[in-house]
Amino acid sequence: MVKEMRSVVNPFSPLKHNNVIIKFAVSFLLVGLAFHLLVSDSFRFSSVVETPVPANEETEPESLMASLPAEEPLSNDFAANESQTSQPGKCDLFVGDWIPDPSGPFYTNQSCLQIEGHQNCMKNGRSDSGYLHWRWNPRGCSLPRFNPKKFLRLMRNKSWAFIGDSISRNHVQSLLCTLSQVEQAVEVYHDEEYRSKIWRFPSHNFTLSVIWTPFLIKADIFEDMNGVSSSEIQLHLDKLDKKWTDQYRNLDYAIIAGGKWFLKTAIYHENNVVTGCHYCPGKNLTELGFDYAYRKAMQLIFNFITNSGHKALAFFRTTTPDHFENGEWFSGGTCNRKVPFKEDEVSMTDVDTIMHNIELEEFEKATALGPEKGVALKLLDTTRLSLLRPDGHPGPYRQFQPFAEDKNAQVQNDCLHWCLPGPIDSWNDLVMEMIVNGGI
């Protein structure tokens, strides 16, 4: 937290003429120093952002506004949200609490056509709706709700990609559902397995895509759509996946994320030689562990972004904890809780802690290079706030009406992905706050 410097000199106090001149000069110097500190701080890469100024003083980022035509004023709802913010200062958006929100989500499973069946919890038979009525509230400042109309205006003539695994696809569906309340996206591309997709918002010339690359680095995967493997994954720890790197320089914005796939059995390759593995008993290979591979991947990713010379704004989203209890996804694990955890009610697992620490350490190294690289890299640290939401997963309602024929049916639970609508919608609030008030 950077302390704000303020001048306490009042140039209009009834002092002698010389004292007035001297104090005015001192005040001028202090104000100049404060301005210098403020400007230099704006170049730091951080998850800490300034709280918004009052609505009537808000200015758009210059780099975005240059391409925006004059349009109608924003709705009063957004102005009201902005007026609830705390005094100007610094706030860590990722430290806070989930608070009740009677207003509920922007959309429903009936008003949005982009929800995949696995995340359509209400259609699949989930009867409780309490999980829809919570909002993330950072401590020390208020977080305005995502404004789809304003977001589309900011994104006119821009391109944005979500790069990662199925959680990234889960997130892009959340954004599509929210934006659909203003304009329906048109799907213009999908790969053979419908994992990578591209949409366009015609009236804003905005392109939104999801690029499925679960490791972000080169991987030979022998797994079908149901997660059944026929052979070990071959993971190349010194090569990024060209599926996303070849497209990166065409993007204005990107949200990049890795995580859970690194826990799978994999054979590790470096310099075209097998160097070890993760969880490969009987292979007579050195057990290097998922953490070894994940750190290598983070280093490759951040090195590519910071040395790309491309001026995109890149967010790195941290790993997402799951909430399986009494087993794992393959051994009867469930997630039946109905309300969020409080801060002192839950701790991260050892695996999630290791993965999250690697992300933070490598991100800090990358951003320590400073602004001379000319690359905007921001941390979207959703790990802890997601940990507090065990109530927001599909659970058994990953399938359609799983208990319609047998109330005691044994079904596989999904305690990793998020219901739509659901807690993942709050990630959009964070992203927009970081764009609008994050020093872009």
Over the chain, what HEC string results?
Answer: CCCCCCCCCCCCCCCCHHHHHHHHHHHHHHHHHHHHHHHHHCCCCCCEEECCCCHHHCCCCHHHHCCCCCCCCCCHHHHHHHHCCCCCCEEECCCEEEEECCCCCCCCCCCCCCCCHHHCCCCCCCCCCHHHCEEEEECCCCCCCCCHHHHHHHCCCCEEEEEECHHHHHHHHHHHHHHCCCCCCEEEEECCCCCCEEEEEHHHCEEEEEEECCCCEEEECCECCCCCECCCEEEEEEEECHHHHHHHCCCCEEEEECCHHHHCCEEEEECCEEEEEECCCCCCCCECCHHHHHHHHHHHHHHHHHCCCCCCEEEEECCCCCCCECCCCCCCCECCCCCCCCHHHCCCCHHHHHHHHHHHHHHHHHHCCCHHHCCEEEEECCHHHHHCCHHHCCEHHHCCCCCCCCCCCCCCCECCCCCCCCCCHHHHHHHHHHHHCCCC
Residue 55 has a pLDDT of 36
Span 389-435, pLDDT tens digits: 999 999 999 999 999 999 989 999 999 999 999 999 999 999 999 99
Q: Cα–chain-centroid distance for residue 85?
A: 21
Residue 369 has a pLDDT of 75
- Is residue 56's pLDDT more than 70? no
Is 421:108 a contact under the CB 8 Å cutoff? yes
Task: Tell me what percent of the residues of the chain surpass a pLDDT of 90.
Answer: 69
Q: Which of 225-234, 251-260, 323-332 has the lowest mean pLDDT?
A: 225-234
From 171, 393, 417, 429, the catalytic residue: 417
What's the angle, vertex CA 65, arms to CA 62 and CA 71, rounded to 5?
A: 150
Residue 93 has a pLDDT of 94
Mean pLDDT of 134-158: 95
* pLDDT confidence tier of residue 77, bands split at 50, 70 and 90: very low
Mean pLDDT of 24-37: 41
From 166, 174, 386, 426, the catalytic residue: 166
Span 109-120, pLDDT tens digits: 999 988 999 999
Mean pLDDT of 4-22: 34
Beta-bridge partner residues of 277: 267, 287
Q: Which of 34-43, 341-350, 353-362, 397-406 has the lowest mean pLDDT?
A: 34-43
Task: Tell me what percent of the residues of the chain surpass a pLDDT of 70.
Answer: 78
* pLDDT confidence tier of residue 378, bands split at 50, 70 and 90: very high
- Is residue 417 among the annotated active site residues? yes
Is 404:387 a contact under the CB 8 Å cutoff? no
- Is residue 166 among the annotated active site residues? yes
Residue 349 has a pLDDT of 95
Mean pLDDT of 366-373: 75
Mean pLDDT of 229-234: 90
From 352, 414, 425, 429, the catalytic residue: 414
Span 245-299, pLDDT tens digits: 999 999 999 999 999 999 999 999 999 999 999 999 989 999 999 999 999 999 9
Residue 26 has a pLDDT of 38
Beta-bridge partner residues of 276: 268
- Residue 304 or 55, more confident: 304
Structure tokens at 337: 């809780």
Mean pLDDT, all residues of the chain: 82
- Indicate the pairing of strand 159-164 with strand 186-190: unpaired
- Is residue 414 among the annotated active site residues? yes
Residue 3 has a pLDDT of 34
Q: Which of 21-35, 244-258, 358-372 has the lowest mean pLDDT?
A: 21-35
Span 160-201, pLDDT tens digits: 999 999 999 999 999 999 999 999 999 999 999 999 999 999
- Is residue 225's pLDDT more than 80? no
Which contacts (CB < 8 Å, 24+ apart) does range 25-34 have? 30/5, 31/7, 33/5, 34/4, 34/5, 34/6, 34/7
Residue 37 has a pLDDT of 38
Mean pLDDT of 363-376: 80
Rounded to whole angstroms, the Cα distance separating 196 from 333 reads: 29
Cα dihedral: 110, 114, 116, 121 (round 10): -30
- Is residue 21's pLDDT more than 60? no
* pLDDT confidence tier of residue 99, bands split at 50, 70 and 90: very high
